Amino acid sequence: MEQQNLIHGRTATPIAPACDHPAPLDSCALQAEYIDIARELEGDASSHEAGDAHLLTTNALYHGGPVQWSFVPKVFSRRDLVYLAWIAETMGRIMDKVTLRFVEDEGFRAAFELDPRIERLACMPNAFGTQIPIARVDIFLDEETGSFKFCELNTDGSSGMLVTEEVTKTNLLTKTGKTFASRHVVSTFDIYGACASAVLDCYREAGGKAAVPEVVAVDYAESIAREEIDEFARVFAEHGARLRFADIRDLRYEDGVLTDALGPIDCVWRRVVISEMLEKPCPGADAFMACAADGAVPIVGGFRTWPCATKTVFAVLHSPAARQVLNEEELAFVREHVPATYMLDSQSDLTRFADRTRWIAKPRDGYNSLGVRAGQDCTDEEWAEVLAQMAQTRGTVQEYVTPYATLNVEGGVAGIGRAFEPYMNMEGLFLFRNRFAGVFTRCGQSAVIGEFAGRLNMGCLVVEE
């Protein structure tokens, strides 16, 4: 596969949002057409193997091999995107309101039942107007009807950009993808560019004046996706800035200057997850928190983004406290699209969750699907143990939403000769400075569509006609 054969435009953003949508969405027919082309090519076996070979030349790797990818990408029309923009930006406005009230109102903060250390961090100053500059809201979207439910909200790191970019390129380099693209005007999202612009716009809004800003992505070395940062370094350079990674352990703060092992920092892009930072205390983390408290250096993705990333936020959105924050239209949106969620403790009546097929358990401060257990994947005995553990650790139980399934097959050598089968889908809608700008889709055949449950990473195409 020759990458230079990939010549497609970028999807124009921002997109004017609207709640009206076709039923079914145009994606249903477009994806069916894509599958028909693959079948006409008798499965397009040669492209499977070549796709793996191409991914090996990129940074989209997992333990040294190509990431697991789906042969069929998610394909949306421009009309579909208008609806996705409405979903994402409506939740974005809700998240902004919730974050501001959390910072301003001690009583509202109490509804989240957060660790006091996290409360203090989340109330630190913000140097720019956008409360959550980078986010990804995950949904289960029924493409036949347009109905949807949220899965969770991501504000720390909001990963998935690298695999989306590279798997999309791989899909378009297959014979199936090339044939499909020859029949339509196809574009792809510039997620990297939108993200870099959001970071640098926040820096400038905060008063940053460096001609070539030194932007540092801060995380733990064992947790950061270094290959993603390497790709972003190239994009930031195109935007007139330098990006590097710093292990949080290397940070120092003195006299209003934050430094890492390589020198002073103009702007921080926080990638470290707050709960992980508190689990791994170190002098560098203390320096980072002291810098944030002084407001000395702009921190994009500051600590106040955390309340909306917790698993408790959905319970708060359904609580009486939300009525003080949201208008009637937003409350109706929550009732219809946010799954019922309950915070557990040692006094909780667990018998109400005994029908395990209806529920999924999530640690209160969890991330990256760690510790998530769907009742459908458990025996009755296992589910009882999961509930007991969640009550002991003050976890959450959430209404289980059965994801919408579409036909797909694993890309790469693992998928050669295999028939198309139903895979359940989850869409992650990227928000940069509160505007929708891309989709991170993955699919799987387990009740939890997670990195450790054999999920497939999907590309995303936009048909512009």
Closest CA to 219 of 285, 160, 146: 285
Closest CA to 133 of 269, 307, 330, 234: 269
Q: Encode pLDDT of 92-138 as tens digits.
A: 999 999 999 999 999 999 999 998 999 999 999 899 999 999 999 99
H or E element at residue 187: strand 186-188
Query: What parts of the chain have a pLDDT lower than 50?
Result: 1-7
242, β-bridge pairs: 214
Question: So what's the pLDDT on residue 4?
Answer: 37
The type of residue at 353 is: F
As given in the structure block, the two tokens for residue 209 are 């004046």
Q: How far is CA 3 from the centre of its chain?
A: 27
Distance (Å, rounded) from C-alpha 294 to C-alpha 297? 8
Domain ranges for the chain? 25-93+128-188+411-463, 209-297
Distance (Å, rounded) from C-alpha 227 to C-alpha 63? 12
The 3 state secondary structure assigned to 223-276 is CCCHHHHHHHHHHHHHCCCEEEEEEHHHCEEECCEEEECCEECCEEEECCCHHH
Distance (Å, rounded) from C-alpha 260 to C-alpha 303? 19
| Whole-angstrom Cα Rg for the chain | 22
Question: So what's the pLDDT on residue 63?
Answer: 65
Tell if the pTM clears 0.75, that is, is over it.
yes
Q: Encode pLDDT of 402-430 as tens digits.
A: 999 999 999 999 999 999 999 999 999 99
Contact 127, 207 (CB under 8 A): yes
Across 20-123, where does the E strand assignment appear? 61-62, 65-66, 74-77
Q: Encode pLDDT of 251-281 as tens digits.
A: 999 999 999 999 999 999 999 988 889 999 9
Count of beta carbons in the 10 Å neighbourhood of residue 69: 27
Closest CA to 154 of 427, 374, 340: 427
Contact 298, 127 (CB under 8 A): yes
* Rounded alpha-carbon distances, angstroms, from residue 205 to 199, 300, 438: 10, 11, 23
Question: So what's the pLDDT on residue 2?
Answer: 42
Distance (Å, rounded) from C-alpha 343 to C-alpha 113? 9
Q: How far is CA 274 from the centre of its chain?
A: 16
Question: So what's the pLDDT on residue 157?
Answer: 56
As given in the structure block, the two tokens for residue 13 are 């953003």
Question: So what's the pLDDT on residue 453?
Answer: 56
Which residues 6+ apart lie within 8 Å of 145 measured at CB? Answer: 23, 24
As given in the structure block, the two tokens for residue 218 are 């801060």
Which residues 6+ apart lie within 8 Å of 278 measured at CB? Answer: 115, 117, 118
**SS3 state at 115:** coil
Question: So what's the pLDDT on residue 3?
Answer: 40
